[in-house]
Structure formats: structure tokens, C-alpha cells
């Protein structure tokens, strides 16, 4: 039996409303949303508050904020990291501990030191885009998009390169003897970093060997050799 025109219109409107509500819900739950905007001028991190978890740190009373909360020397020296021995790079990143005034501002900075011939291997930042400014040295940098197209560029001191959020990218020191220094800015307080090689071959627990064999068209011996080479 055919529906009355008014009944058809009502059913169509109900479907439209359901779709709109689903789209609204997805937008609210989307993990790719930027960091939330502040409702205050600033939110200096209260490092003593450890009783509950927030998306960031709770704020101290603004009346007790000091100039020192908005300054840091954390990037003045390179860090000592295990990646320095493995790949030839180390990263020093600001956070709520080293720069409390940056809490909830939706940004972070990193100093990247790369030894001569060193490599920051293919990796991604799931929560941020990265603008990398080369301060010293000579680099080859690049990223691949979801169409597998590679965008690569040689950088000289003073050059900047942008890595879009979530896309796999690398930084390679072209000079075999001279170290390179990069200053990077991120549009997230916690951009995250996931190195492709160590994620796949040094996860805990391990990725199933059969999965790695099929994904890379290699043998079980190859999987074990790569794991050993990566310190696993």
C-alpha cells in the first residue's frame, strides 16, 4: 500500500535528522580534532595535582602564575636518547613539566639533533602537524601521502618544511661528518611519535611473525634479523 505524501515527507525528514545526528556525534568523538580552546588567558600546569586524569594538566590559580612558568631552557642542549646509538638522532621536546605555561595552549616544540649521516627514520605524529626549521647542517626531508606520493626536499639552514598531521615522514642528514640541528613546532601539546620500524618489529608483545612475513614478503629469518638489528 502506498504511503500518503505527508507520511513519506515525515519519514524522509526523520532519516535526514538521524543522519545529521550521526554526523554531529562523529564530529564530537573524532580523535583528529585539534586541542580544545582555552576559556582562560592561560592555564599554567599544576604539577602537584596527580589525583585524576585530564586532557592535559589541571591549572594553578592564575594569580600565582610567574614569568618563569612561560620560559624554558629545555631546548638549549641536546638530549641523550637510545635512538642516538640506533639511528643517530635525539629529540628534546617541551612539555607541561619543562614549560608549564604551555599547558592547554595546543602547541609543543622540539629540538632534533642528527649526527653526521644520521637519520630520523620514517615516523608519524598522530595528533599534530610539524613545521621543521633547519638551524644547522644539510638535510633531505620528505613525507608520503595516502596516495603513496613522496614529497621530498633538500634543506639548507634557515629553510622550513611542513609535515602534515599523521603522515609518515623522515629527516636524513646528507653530510656524513657535520651534525644537523632542527627546531620543530607542533600544533598539539602532545603530538605523539610512532616510528614505523620499531613499532612493527619491537612492539610489546610482538607483532605475529606471520603478519610481518606476509606484509613485507620476507622470511621468518628476516623478521628475526630485523628485530635483532633494532635492538630487540
Structure confidence at residue 22 as a pLDDT band (50, 70, 90)? low
Residue stretches of the annotated binding site: 123, 125, 130, 169
Is residue 26 predicted with pLDDT exceeding 60?
A: no
Is residue 83 predicted with pLDDT exceeding 70?
A: no
Q: What pLDDT shows up at residue 37?
A: 64
Structure confidence at residue 17 as a pLDDT band (50, 70, 90)? confident
Q: What pLDDT shows up at residue 130?
A: 97
Average pLDDT, the chain: 87
Is residue 52 predicted with pLDDT exceeding 60?
A: no
The sheet with strand 139-144 has its strands ordered as: 150-155, 139-144, 169-173, 119-124, 194-195
Measured distance CA(118)–CA(87) in Å, rounded: 6
Is residue 171 predicted with pLDDT exceeding 70?
A: yes
Measured distance CA(157)–CA(133) in Å, rounded: 8
Q: What pLDDT shows up at residue 1?
A: 53
Asked if 118 and 87 count as a contact pair (C-beta separation under 8 A), the reply is: yes
Residue stretches of the annotated binding site for oxalate: 125, 130
Q: What pLDDT shows up at residue 80?
A: 78
Residue stretches of the annotated binding site for Mn(2+): 123, 125, 130, 169
More reliable by pLDDT, 10 or 175: 175
Percent of the chain with pLDDT over 90: 67
- For the whole model, what pTM was predicted? 0.80
Least confident of 20-24, 69-73, 104-108, 223-227: 20-24
Cell triple for residue 136?
644547522
Structure confidence at residue 49 as a pLDDT band (50, 70, 90)? confident
Amino acid at each position: 500500500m502506498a504511503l500518503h505524501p505527508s507520511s513519506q515527507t515525515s519519514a524522509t525528514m526523520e532519516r535526514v535528522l538521524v543522519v545529521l545526528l550521526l554526523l554531529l556525534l562523529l564530529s564530537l568523538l573524532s580523535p583528529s580534532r585539534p586541542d580544545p580552546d582555552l576559556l582562560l588567558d592561560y592555564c599554567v600546569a599544576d604539577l602537584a595535582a596527580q589525583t585524576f586524569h585530564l586532557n592535559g594538566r589541571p591549572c594553578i590559580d592564575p594569580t600565582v602564575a610567574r614569568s618563569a612558568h612561560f620560559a624554558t631552557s629545555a631546548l638549549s642542549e641536546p638530549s641523550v636518547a637510545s635512538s642516538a646509538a640506533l639511528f643517530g638522532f635525539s629529540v628534546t621536546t617541551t612539555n607541561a613539566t619543562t614549560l608549564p605555561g604551555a599547558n592547554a595552549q595546543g602547541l609543543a616544540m622540539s629540538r632534533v639533533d642528527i649526527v653526521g649521516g644520521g637519520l630520523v627514520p620514517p615516523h608519524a605524529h598522530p595528533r599534530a602537524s610539524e613545521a621543521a626549521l633547519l638551524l644547522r647542517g644539510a638535510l633531505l626531508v620528505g613525507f608520503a601521502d595516502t596516495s603513496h606520493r613522496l614529497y621530498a626536499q633538500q634543506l639548507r639552514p634557515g629553510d622550513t618544511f611542513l609535515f602534515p598531521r599523521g603522515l609518515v615522514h623522515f629527516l636524513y642528514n646528507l653530510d656524513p661528518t657535520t651534525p644537523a640541528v632542527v627546531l620543530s613546532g607542533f600544533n598539539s601539546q602532545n603530538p605523539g611519535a610512532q616510528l614505523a620500524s620499531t613499532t612493527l618489529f619491537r612492539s610489546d608483545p610482538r607483532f605475529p611473525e606471520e603478519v610481518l612475513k606476509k606484509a613485507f614478503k620476507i622470511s621468518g629469518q628476516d623478521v628475526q634479523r630485523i628485530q635483532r638489528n633494532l635492538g630487540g
